[in-house]
Amino acid sequence: MVKKLFSSLIIILALPLSVAAQMHFGYLSYDKALQAMPEYIVAGQQMADLRTQYEGEMKRVEDEFNKKYEEFVVQQNELATPIRMKRQAELQEMMEKNIAFKEEARRLIAEAEQKTYGPIRERLDAAVKTVGQQKGYAFILNTDNAAVPYINPQQGEDITDAVAGALRTTP
């Protein structure tokens, strides 16, 4: 009886190992696949242009603030107290508006990135899923950021070319 129980236990413990040995998976660098997409390159240029516009406006308002501040520093001792206080308040308000604009610009850029890159990532995700289903993989690993330092090439397959092919065949 003990022998039968021990034998059953060994089979139960060995079963997951044999299933794991039969498991096949794919892997790729998601970032490299993404960056190889022509629409990603176009989107990157659009985002760079948008950032340049915002940076130009931030520089303009910062220069304007600096100019007014320098004028104030030079004149402040000659100004009557109410005028000096008024100008200080104007400078404070201007600085607060500049800070608010920078925060809003960051938010708007992040939102634009999501809108711009979101559909591109969805298309890549769909291609990865299609390749995974076609090849019958148990899973697909993303090798970016040294997340997977070793992959046995006999059990896993680099699917970069397959994903690129799937992207070429889907609009």
Q: Is residue 13 part of a domain?
A: no
Answer yes or no: is pLDDT of 21 > 80: no
Give the residue numbers spanning the domain of 152: 22-169
The burial of 58, by beta-carbon neighbours within 10 Å (0-12 exposed, 13-18 middle, 19 or more buried), is given as middle
Q: Is residue 6 part of a domain?
A: no
Reported as a single tens digit per residue, the pLDDT across 91-147 is: 999 999 999 999 999 999 999 999 999 999 999 999 999 999 999 999 999 999 988
Q: In the structure, what pLDDT confidence band is assigned to residue 153 with cuts at 50, 70 and 90? A: confident
Q: Is residue 53 part of a domain?
A: yes
Number of domains within the chain: 1
Answer yes or no: is pLDDT of 74 > 50: yes
The CATH number linked to 65 is: 3.30.910.20
Q: Is residue 5 part of a domain?
A: no
- Residue 69: the pLDDT is 95
Q: Is residue 14 part of a domain?
A: no
Tell me how far CA of residue 115 lies from CA of 44, 50, 119, 120, 123, in angstroms: 12, 13, 7, 9, 13
